[in-house]
């Protein structure tokens, strides 16, 4: 056994680092899109949402929404500029709300929640939904245009897509409503990095369904080939189009299925974490004595 003397400064620094971890944990919480300064906007999306702000939503009482596309023949995307680290166990839980409005020529082509290795690209227009060709990547598509066999000949489906390929590895052919109806959809995407299981849920309200709409086993870190992941949304339109809006988005950098999307993280736990952090800082300020630890 060896006794070493370290300064209280170092000790308090070490303690604050431990306590600070929850503060640094990723919790993205957009209850509206009044501020888009954290995003990199690509393709048409940058021209639709100007001044680092989303556009006013289409429904009475709406705040600003992230409008990915708004006309025919477009491709666009919005990714968080800062990467999300998959270095620990790669798990995450996410919730988002979306709506397709003002359909032109039947409404198309949908949106994709995408995870890729850069923030500044959008993929193919039309049936590519702004995602086609983005590789390596994984995407969760909500597709309202039937492009044939790859879509299961279904103009109202969801799918899990890999590496920018529009032929989904998993497809859900029955959704709770028509995407073209203007209904507001609520989606959950959960990834458990310990089991490699990706699950997608869909509802018409904030109640997270017990049963997954789609699930797929995938080694996300192996697929991407990096622990830096960029998270966001893509959209595309072709002969037909629509306003493709993301209305809310919550992303938690741990496996922690979001059961209260309007109040992620809760109102009690976050101030608690900050209080602990403040105590550590207080200790840093007051203590100047040497401390002993035994190794």
Interface residues with Ca ion (CB under 5 A) are 106-107, 127, 143-145, 147, 151, 159, 180
Nearer of residues 151 and 199 to Ca ion, judged by Cβ: 151
Tell which phi-psi region holds residue 248, choosing left (phi > 0), alpha (psi between -120 and 50) or beta.
beta
Nearer of residues 18 and 178 to Ca ion, judged by Cβ: 178
Smallest gap from residue 139 Cβ to Ca ion (A): 10
Taking the C-alpha atoms of residue 136 and residue 142, their distance in angstroms, rounded to an integer, is 20
Over the range 27-37, which residues count as b (16 or more CB within 10 Å of their CB) and which as e? ebebebbeebe
DSSP string, 148-166: SGGGTT-SSEEEEEETT-S
Q: Largest Cα–Cα distance of the chain, in whole Å? A: 78
Nearer of residues 92 and 145 to Ca ion, judged by Cβ: 145
CA–CA–CA angle 170, 224, 30 (5° rounding): 75
For 8, the 3-state DSSP assignment is: helix
Nearer of residues 30 and 185 to Ca ion, judged by Cβ: 185
The one-character DSSP state at 180 is: G
Smallest gap from residue 126 Cβ to Ca ion (A): 8
Smallest gap from residue 200 Cβ to Ca ion (A): 14
Smallest gap from residue 216 Cβ to Ca ion (A): 15
In order of 15, 189, 252, the CA distances from 100 in angstroms are 48, 19, 25
Smallest gap from residue 150 Cβ to Ca ion (A): 6
Please give the torsion angle defined by the CA atoms of residues 129, 132, 137 and 138, in that order, rounded to the nearest 10 degrees.
50
Locate 59 and state its tokens: 């429904």
Nearer of residues 151 and 252 to Ca ion, judged by Cβ: 151
Smallest gap from residue 23 Cβ to Ca ion (A): 40
Nearer of residues 130 and 159 to Ca ion, judged by Cβ: 159
Nearer of residues 128 and 261 to Ca ion, judged by Cβ: 128
Smallest gap from residue 168 Cβ to Ca ion (A): 6
Instruction: Of 40, 85, 17, give the one whose Cα is nearest residue 253.
Output: 85
């Amino acid at each position: 056994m060896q006794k070493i003397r370290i300064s209280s400064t170092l000790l308090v620094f070490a303690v604050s680092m431990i306590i600070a971890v929850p503060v640094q944990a990723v919790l993205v919480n957009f209850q509206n899109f009044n501020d888009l300064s954290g995003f990199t906007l690509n393709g048409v999306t940058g021209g639709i949402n100007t001044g680092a702000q989303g556009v006013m939503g289409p429904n009475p009482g709406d705040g600003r929404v992230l409008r990915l596309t708004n006309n025919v023949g477009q491709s666009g995307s919005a990714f968080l500029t800062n990467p999300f680290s998959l270095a620990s166990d790669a798990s995450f839980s996410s919730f988002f709300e979306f709506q397709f409005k003002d359909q032109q020529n039947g409404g198309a082509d949908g949106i994709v929640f995408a995870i890729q290795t850069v923030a500044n690209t959008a993929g193919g227009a039309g049936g590519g939904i702004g995602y086609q060709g983005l590789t390596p990547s994984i995407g969760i598509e909500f597709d309202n245009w039937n492009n044939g066999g790859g879509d299961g000949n279904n103009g109202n489906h969801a799918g899990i897509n890999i590496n920018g390929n529009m032929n989904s590895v998993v497809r859900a052919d029955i959704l709770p409503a028509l995407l073209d109806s203007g209904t507001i959809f609520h989606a959950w995407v959960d990834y458990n990095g310990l089991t490699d299981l990706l699950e997608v849920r869909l509802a018409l309200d904030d109640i997270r369904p017990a049963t997954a709409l789609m699930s797929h086993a995938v080694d996300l870190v192996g697929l991407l080939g990096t622990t830096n992941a960029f998270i966001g949304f893509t959209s595309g339109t072709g002969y037909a189009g629509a306003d493709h809006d993301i209305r809310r988005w919550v992303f938690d950098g741990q496996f922690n299925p979001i059961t209260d999307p309007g109040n992620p993280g809760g109102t009690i736990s976050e101030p608690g974490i900050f209080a602990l952090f403040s105590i550590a800082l207080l200790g840093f300020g007051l203590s100047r004595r040497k401390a002993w630890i035994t190794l």
